[in-house]
Amino acid sequence: MASNPPSECCFTGFQHEGTPTGEIKKIDHIDTYFASPKDGKPDQAIIIVSDIFGIYPNSQLIADNFAANGWLTVIPDMFQGIPITDDEYNSGVDIMARLSSHRPKADGIVEKVIKHLRETLGIKKIGGVGYCYGGKYVVRFLKDGNLDAGYIAHPAHIMDEELAAITGPLSIAAAETDSKFPAPLRQKSESILVKTGVPYQIYLFGGVRHGFAARGDLGVPNIRFAKEQAFSQAVAWFGHYL
């Protein structure tokens, strides 16, 4: 496995301050957050596949920031209004069984959103952003005709064969302390990416933990800096490859 399955660290974090400025619309009955740029790139868009918290203020604010950089950015509701909660995790529910049973729906959601962007909105190039759980689906869809470029931060539950199958450029933001993506799996992922022959990068951020790029404590200067740098990493990547 290129990254480990979700566990306790995936259910913790801090809600960030700010008021989202986008709006919720429907894509084929899927609630989707839309963040629209004022002066954007008319033929480019970004899909954010969120962590297990789904559409919530942190992911919405990140989408707003991508829109401020010129990209129409959308966040589909991967959990259909019922995200996995820390209470559910702590109750002893088999989270992996639930995620596995949800995968066909999750794949279908991403497929429908990509189709809507390309066929209805006329988008030519699409970037995929995935945090934690969402990283798996960016990797799964980083193939010709789906996503054109990918960025994932502190990814979870990506299988070796999924990573080996990508055909587009991939950027990874990794945390120094991360049981989902520890040093041995980072190194393993690098060896897999080398064999794909596609452009890739792996940035390692010291002094931070799993979740730092989406739900870290921004009151801690080092975490805030790492979060902002990880976002800049994504902006630079899409600026070059979209």
The catalytic residues are 132, 178, 210
Q: Which residues contact 57 (CB under 8 A, 6 or more apart)?
A: 15, 16, 18, 20
Separation CA 242–CA 239 (nearest Å): 6
**Long-range contact set of residues 81-87: C-beta below 8 Å, sequence gap at least 24:** 81/31, 83/52, 83/53, 83/54, 84/11, 84/52, 85/11, 86/11, 86/12
Q: What is the 3-state secondary structure of 187-231?
A: HHHHHHHHHHCCCEEEEEEEEEECCHHHHCCCCCHHHHHHHHHHH
Among all chains, which residue has been given the structure tokens 């989707």? Answer: 32
Backbone angles phi, psi at 143, to 5 degrees: -140, 160
Distance in angstroms (rounded) separating the CA atoms of residues 227 and 115: 31
Give CA 30 to chain center in angstroms: 18
Phi/psi of residue 94, nearest 5 degrees: -75, 90
